Amino acid sequence: MDSILVVNAGSSSVKFEIFEVAGSGGLQRRLKGQIDGIGVKPRLRADARDGTLLVDRSYDTAKIADVPAAIAAVADWLRETQPFDLVAVGHRVVHGGPDYDRAVVVDHAVLERLERYNSLAPLHQPNNLAPIRLLLARRPEWPQVACFDTAFHRTHSAVADHFAIPEHFYAEGVRRYGFHGLSYEYISGRLREIAPDIAGGSVIVAHLGSGASMCALADGKSVESTMGFTALDGLPMGTRPGQIDPGVLLYLVGEKQMTPDALQNLLYRDSGLKGLSGISNDMRELEKSAAPGAALAIDYFVYRVALSAGMLAAALSGLDAFVFTAGIGENSAMIRARIAEKLHWLGVVLDPEANATRKSLISRPESKVRLLVVPTDEELMIAKHTLALLSQTKATPHIAQMS
């Protein structure tokens, strides 16, 4: 069966999925898995489409010390146990910069351009590109497609995209890009299936996870986002601070003599929920904790989500629906309830029972704004973009066989 491999590589984990291409051009998930604990306690796990466990294997730290080694281990396991005809590999790439407003087939020239944005997403971009570079070297016959988290937000107006700094910086690419675009694109399409009466209206989508942001959708298109030039802006996240006065950074550099590397480490690894709580970057652990720091971090997270909802509602000139998605948004009834309480001024009325039982619609009938919980699927979105691009470029089946 012709198949597409989807790869989502991070700093300490590599997620992967296999999608079979049906004769009608549809996609069916065959398996999903990940290798995490890279460089610490590497562990490969994968499940079939019916939930059957296919592999649960641990490795010596030295054997899986980095992302390329993890990719090689995944490839070895797939080749040994899961024969399929691979037609392409689709990758999540966080930053497309000003150059790319849609998915693109990657060659060495494209890879070189994308590497220019490593400093704009140091936790993500180098790791996103590592498997692309590895496969270009080892399996150049496999078409590879880069799908960008920034692309969906390229529908923003110039006003929404600009910072209030001299215009030449904008021309050089210093602008508000927005991220989590693959997630928002999926939710936009999903709403047309499950709630067509509101999909064309004014909707805020809250992608709340270890990385967190919010997006304002008008007729399914992004018009504003809480994230900007980098994935540091907007909401507080697991280890990132979200919105912060630039003067704080000037103070840390000037008065505290922090080096650029130390400042980057602070902003990307030691802030957010972790920094505020002093305990953990994991919302699940914070919800269980009785420590004052945990309560402060949760209060701050809810408060900033509510503030951003007001900003995005203003950008939309009204609000028809509010959608929760991603790890926290999909799984934490407590966080959803607390955010809904903060949005009461917008006419939001939560249905506590529906929220507690993880229903899709969690608002009461009298609520002026509909509240929904919609699971996201970035990997399916990547597979769709990859298949569409292959069709356009006429890169047809049986490129390679992993058997």
Q: Is 149 a catalytic residue?
A: yes
Q: What residue type is 41 in one-letter code?
A: K
Q: What residue type is 186 in one-letter code?
A: Y
Annotated catalytic residue within 36, 60, 85, 149: 149
Q: Which two tokens stand for residue 51?
A: 């939930």
How many degrees, rounded to 5, is the angle at CA 70 between CA 391 and CA 238? 90
CA quadruple 298, 231, 198, 189: dihedral sign: negative
Q: What residue type is 193 in one-letter code?
A: E
Number of Cβ within a 10 Å radius of residue 329:
24
Query: Is the CB of residue 272 less than 8 Å from the CB of residue 235?
Result: no
Largest CA distance in the chain: 64
What lies within 8 Å, CB to CB, of 263 at 6+ separation is 249, 252, 253
Q: Which two tokens stand for residue 112?
A: 């070189």
Query: Is the CB of residue 274 less than 8 Å from the CB of residue 280?
Result: yes
Catalytic residues: 149
